[in-house]
Structures are given as C-alpha cells and as structure tokens.
Amino acid sequence: MKLALIGISNSGRTTLFNSLTGRSAATTGYSAAEAEPNMAVIKVPDRRIDELARIFKPKKRTHARIEYMDYLGLCRGDAGQNGKVIEFIKDADALVYVLRGFEDAGVAHPLGAVDPVRDFDTIEAELIIFDLDLAEKRLLHMEEAARKGKPPKREEEAAVRKCREALEREMPLRYTAFDETERRAIRHLDFISMLPVMAVINVAESDLASAKSLSWRDAIRKRTARFTEIPLDPIVLSGKIEMEIAELPAEDAAAFLRDLGVGVPARERMIRESYGMLGLISFLTVGEDEVRAWTVRKGAPARAAAGKIHSDLERGFIRAEVVSYDDFVKAGSLSGARSKGLLRLEGKQYVVRDGDIIDFRFNV
C-alpha cells in the first residue's frame, strides 16, 4: 500500500516524511525539479504484536507494512503542465494532503500567504481539472471511434459521463457513488480524484489546539461535508515537533509528549488513519516461530485471508480457529481460550475482523 504525501511546496511534506519514516531526507526552500522521490516502507505500530510476542516469545515478530512517498510540490496549473507530479500521484493507493498552517518569514509560501483552506481547495481543484480533462478526452475518443464504426462499450461511456457530470460540479470522484459495473468500466482510467484522501495541517507548536487551527479544520470538514456523510477531518500536527520526537529515544519521547499534552504522537495517529482510510484491517497469527500481523481489506472472508499467508491454505481450506485478541488476552492463553469456549470454529465465508487471532486448518 503506497501513500503519497502531496501539497504546495514548503508545506512541510519532507519534514513529515522524515518524522513518519525516521529518515533524514533533505528539507529545502524549493525542491529541485530533478530530485528523486523519497520512499520508505514502515512498520505499522501495533501494540498487540508486542504483547503477543511477550507471551509467545517467538523467534520473529512481523508488523504490517505501509509505504510513504514524498516528491515535488504541487502548484496551480500542474494538472495541465506538470506530468511528473501527476505520474507520482497515479502511482499511489491513497493521498495525504499536507497543508501549511505555520508562519515563518524565512520559508516562502508559493501562493503568498499562509492559508491551509485555500491550499486544500487548490489541490482539490488540480485533481478535478486533471480528471475532467481525462474524462472529456476519453468521451471524445469514444465518439471518434464510433464514427469510424467502432461503438464504445456502453458501460464505460455511461460511467465516464457520470464522472464528467460530477467533476463539472467540482465533486471529487471519491465522493461519487459507483456500482461495481461502473467501477470496473473506469478502473483503467486511473482517475486521481478517486483516490482516498487524508489531510494534515502542519501548524506551529503554539497552534496545536488553538482556535485558528480549529477553524481551519472545521472549514475543511465543511468543504467535504457537501459531498459525503463522512467528511474529511484533518489531523492537526506540528511537523517540526514530530521530527524532533522521531529523533528521541522512546522514554524521552513519551515524556516530551506528556509535557505537550499530546497523548499519541501524530506519527502513530497518521499511520493508524492511513490504514483506516484504505479500509484495511489486520488479523494475527501466533506461535513460537512467529507472531505476525497480516493486512486484509475490511470484509475479507476467512478463505481469502488464508490466501494472504499461502495459496495452499486458501486452496485446501478446511476451517479457521479464531479468537479475538481481547478474548485471548482475557483468557491468557490459547488453551485457556479454548476451555472458556472463546475459541470459535469458523468456515470459509467467515468475515475476518480486526485483531482476530487465526489458526487455519487446511489439507492439500
């Protein structure tokens, strides 16, 4: 799963990338146009893995993984001109908007003044302009083909028209309801406004909980509440502080966070949200060899989850022995869970839940 950090130049994307990934990529006034993207795979923090490892003392513990990418800044007009940024976005499974909320006379703002709500609108507009152009070109192409006696696929034409209509109303396609047929018909077009999005407002330390930050957050919520019942709720953080936290040893970081009145570092909140935004959950496998988190989409049946581990488990699936993480902790051991009746036998259609500890029985 790849998440791309995007935003106007100097919003603090690279600073945030560093604090998320523990890297130290260069943060600069203006990024060089020929710079390479920063990429890093990180472990999804999961206390359950640590707790289970304490109980099973496995040779190996394996967390779920997620990849962050950081590249050039976006600017007005990029949809038409900057192929590099668009290609970068197309490569992602989801987007993280980094919106600048900090003042700093030494760090130029390409649009003149600090205004994260305007920056949000600017990014959304670029995605919409790009997709609208794509939809129009596609429809034109289909018309031309039709004139030459090659009628377009009905489903695709209807779905692309629906996209165009939404985009003309300035609605990003992530908020448009498509059925399965429509989704399949337009999948190959890779509309960028269809990607799931989360937003971060990068503010000064003194603004972490200020009225100003709240009003920015609220304004962005309202922007998306026009289109959806689950409006975008930006995370307010300070990239500078997060980077300092990422550089501290764990105990010092905890004390620092307490002093700031922040419970969980934004890094963890962001990673958790990234996971949720993509509709992902983790199930767990345990044993003396390995304690491990596996990633599946919400709603995945047990048989498909088995296939994540090995195709043999999917092919020869017999049943799944399942105990929820919380029940397991209550019982203290697998045998305890079994004797208390907390260990369930489930079939291949069972819908896996986040935190399920699963032992697959199979026969090939």
Which residues make up the interface to Mg ion (CB under 5 A)? 13-14, 31
Chain positions 169 to 208 lying near ligand GDP, rule: CB under 6 A, are 202, 204
Q: Does 102 bind ligand GDP (CB under 6 A)?
A: yes
Burial class (CB in 10 A: 0-12, 13-18, 19+), 241: buried
Cα distance between residue 211 and residue 78, in whole Å = 32
Distance CA 231, CA 152 (A): 36
Distance CA 247, CA 240 (A): 11
Q: Identify which of 200, 199, 277 has the alpha carbon closest to the alpha carbon of residue 237.
A: 200
* Nearest-approach distance from CB 172 to Mg ion, in angstroms: 24
Q: What are 20's two structure tokens?
A: 């998320």
Binding region for ligand GDP (CB under 6 A) out of 89-97, 101-109, 120-128, 249-257: 101-109
Q: How far is the CB of 162 from ligand GDP (least distance, A)?
A: 34
Q: Which of residues 30-69 bind ligand GDP (CB under 6 A)?
A: 31
Here the tokens at position 228 are 């959806």
- Alpha-carbon distances, residue 223 vs 93, 158, 228, 273 (angstroms): 23, 27, 10, 20
Q: Please, are residues 119 and 9 in contact by the beta-carbon 8 Å criterion? A: no
315 Cβ neighbours under 8 A, 6+ residues apart? 362, 364
213 binds ligand GDP (CB under 6 A): no
d(CA 340, CA 204): 52
Interface mask toward ligand GDP for 107-126; x: CB under 6 A: x-------------------
State which residue, 24 or 335, has the beta carbon closest to ligand GDP: 24
Distance CA 43, CA 49 (A): 11
Binding partner of residue 101 among Mg ion, ligand GDP, none, CB under 5 to 8 Å per kind? Answer: none
Q: Does 324 bind ligand GDP (CB under 6 A)?
A: no
- Asked if 275 touches ligand GDP (CB under 6 A), the answer is no
* Residue 9 interaction partner, one of ligand GDP, Mg ion, none, beta carbon < 5-8 Å per kind: ligand GDP
The count of residues interacting with ligand GDP (CB under 6 A) is 20
- Nearer to Mg ion by Cβ, of 25 and 160: the residue is 25
Which pair of tokens denotes residue 116? 């994260």
Which span (100-108, 177-185, 335-343, 352-360) binds ligand GDP, by CB under 6 A?
100-108
Name the percent of the chain in helix, strand, coil, to the closest 5: 45, 20, 35
CB of 131: closest distance to Mg ion in angstroms? 25
Residue 12 interface partner, choices Mg ion, ligand GDP, none, CB cut-off 5-8 Å depending on type? ligand GDP
Under rule CB under 6 A, residue 289 binds ligand GDP: no
- What is the residue whose two structure tokens read 């963890």? 268
Query: Which one of the spans 47-55, 182-190, 235-243, 341-349 is the region binding ligand GDP (CB under 6 A)?
Result: 235-243
- The correct pick among 138, 240, 292, 303 for binding ligand GDP (CB under 6 A) is 240
| Contact partner, 104, from Mg ion, ligand GDP, none, Cβ < 5-8 Å per class | ligand GDP
Structure token pair of residue 210: 């200020």
Separation of alpha carbons 8 and 4, rounded Å: 13
How far is the CA of 234 from the CAs of 14, 116, 203, 271, in angstroms?
18, 11, 12, 13
Given Mg ion, ligand GDP, none, residue 240, with its beta carbon under 5 to 8 Å by kind, binds ligand GDP
Applying CB under 6 A, the residues found at the interface with ligand GDP are: 7, 9-15, 27-28, 31, 73, 102, 104, 107, 202, 204, 238-240
